[in-house]
Amino acid sequence: MGIPIKVWENNEFIKEFISLQAVYRYFKSKTSLSGDKLYDPINFGIDDDKPWNYSADLVYRFETTAEHKAARKDRKTRKYI
């Protein structure tokens, strides 16, 4: 089961996704990024509330529920800023 993720672009809500993979696929189609270059900013946004400054004009934020965020905090693949 995936985790719900809400995405904001320049502080404007754009969409709620059903999983991290769905967010990844969405941004992979919009950017030339893939792999960790795309997963890292999404994960940092979810885990650490860090906005993703994609360009001078585009800033993205990612959120999930407090329960899902707590469940992710000790995962083995977690990277720290």
pTM of the model: 0.86
Distance CA 78, CA 8 (A): 22
Give the residue-averaged pLDDT of 27-48: 92
pLDDT for 74 equals 77
Spell out the domain ranges in the chain. Answer: 5-65
Contact 51, 60 (CB under 8 A): yes
Convert the pLDDT of each residue in 45-77 to its tens digit. Answer: 998 999 999 999 999 999 999 999 988 877 766
Which tokens belong to 31? 């950017």
